[in-house]
C-alpha cells in the first residue's frame, strides 16, 4: 500500500513570494491533515479536512494561508505572501476514519525555507 | 483543551542501556495518548497508542509505555537501546470530540556506542 505522498520535498523562496505544497493521501482515507513543524517544536495542526469539507482550521493564518481538497482526494496548501517565520516542515497526514483512536499516517513533509 | 509536556529535549544513552522518555499530559476529558518517532527527513511513524483498557501498551521496535492517570503521565521505555533507535520522539494527546493531535515539543534520542 502506497503511503502519503508530498511534493516538493524542499522549497526555498524569498519573503513575500508565494508557494504551494501538494499532498496525495492514502487511497480511501477520508480525513486529511496539514501540520506545520517549526524546527525544535512538535507538529501543529493547521487544517483538517473530512472528505472535501473543512473540519478544523482554527489555527490556520487565513490572511496568508489557504488550503483546498477538491474532490476529497488530493490537497494543496498555499502560502501567499510568505514570511520569514513560515520557514518550517509542512506535514500532510491522512486517516481512514473519523475515529480519534485511529492512526494518522504521515507523509515525508515539505521543508520550506523563506529567505 | 489538551496539552503535552515532554521532559528533556535531548536524551543520550549508551547502546544496551534503558531508554526512558518522559511525557506528561493535561486533558479535561479521558485522553487518548500516542508516541510517534521521526527519523531524519522522514514523516512521523506511530510507535504505540493508549485508548482504553490495559494501561501498559506495547509498540513496535520493543518500545512500551504505561498510562498513569494519577500522575497524568505516559512515559516511553525500552529495556535495551539500539543504535537504530536514534531519532526524534513525540508524545501526543487527543481527547473529547476532538480529532486533532496535540504534540509535545519532542525529545531527541542519541545512542552512544
User: Beta strands A110-114 and A10-13: pairing type?
Assistant: parallel
What value does the mean pLDDT take over residues B17-29?
94
Residue B42 has pLDDT above 90, yes or no: no
Residue of chain A nearest B40, judged by CA positions: A108
Cβ atoms B17, B77 nearer than 8 A: no
Task: Assess contact for B75 and B23: CB atoms under 8 A.
Answer: yes
Min distance B58 CA to chain A CA atoms (Å): 15
The nearest CA of chain B is from the CA of A28 a distance in Å of: 18
Give residue B52's pLDDT band: very low, low, confident or very high (50, 70, 90): confident
Band (pLDDT 50/70/90 cuts) for residue B98 is: low
Give the distance from CA A114 to its chain's centroid.
17
Least confident of A18-32, A88-102, B5-19, B37-51: A88-102
Q: What is the DSSP string of A26-81?
A: -TT--EEEEEEE-TTS--EEEEEEETTEEEE-TTS-TTTEEEE-GGGS-EEEEESS
Beta carbons within 10 angstroms of residue A49's beta carbon: 22
pLDDT of residue B68: 95
Residues of A with CB under 8 A from a CB of B: 3-4, 31, 33, 40-45, 48, 55-56, 91, 93, 98, 100-101, 103-104, 106-109
**Helix, strand or coil for residue B63?**
coil
| pLDDT attached to residue A69 | 94
Contacts of A58 (CB under 8 A, 6+ apart): none
Chain B CB contacts of A98 under 8 Å are: 99
Nearest CA in chain B to A98: B99
Amino acid at each position: 500500500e502506497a503511503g502519503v505522498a508530498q511534493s516538493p520535498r524542499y522549497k526555498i523562496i524569498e519573503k513575500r513570494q508565494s508557494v504551494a505544497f501538494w499532498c496525495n493521501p492514502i487511497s480511501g482515507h477520508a480525513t486529511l491533515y496539514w501540520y506545520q513543524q517549526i524546527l525544535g517544536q512538535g507538529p501543529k495542526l493547521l487544517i483538517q479536512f473530512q472528505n472535501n469539507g473543512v473540519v478544523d482550521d482554527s489555527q490556520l493564518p487565513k490572511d496568508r494561508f489557504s488550503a483546498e481538497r477538491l474532490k476529497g482526494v488530493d490537497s494543496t496548501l498555499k502560502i501567499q505572501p510568505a514570511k520569514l517565520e513560515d520557514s518550517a516542515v509542512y506535514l500532510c497526514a491522512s486517516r481512514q476514519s473519523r475515529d480519534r483512536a485511529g492512526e494518522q499516517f504521515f507523509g515525508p513533509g515539505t521543508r520550506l525555507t523563506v529567505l | 483543551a489538551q496539552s503535552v509536556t515532554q521532559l528533556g529535549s535531548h536524551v543520550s544513552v549508551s547502546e544496551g542501556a534503558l531508554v526512558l522518555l518522559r511525557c506528561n499530559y493535561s486533558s479535561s476529558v479521558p485522553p487518548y495518548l500516542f508516541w510517534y518517532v521521526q527519523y531524519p527527513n522522514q514523516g512521523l511513524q506511530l510507535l504505540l497508542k493508549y485508548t482504553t483498557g490495559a494501561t501498559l501498551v506495547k509498540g513496535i521496535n520493543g518500545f512500551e509505555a504505561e498510562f498513569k492517570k494519577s500522575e497524568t503521565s505516559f512515559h516511553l521505555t525500552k529495556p535495551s537501546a539500539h543504535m537504530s533507535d536514534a531519532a526524534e520522539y513525540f508524545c501526543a494527546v487527543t481527547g473529547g470530540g476532538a480529532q486533532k493531535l496535540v504534540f509535545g515539543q519532542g525529545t531527541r534520542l542519541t545512542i552512544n556506542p
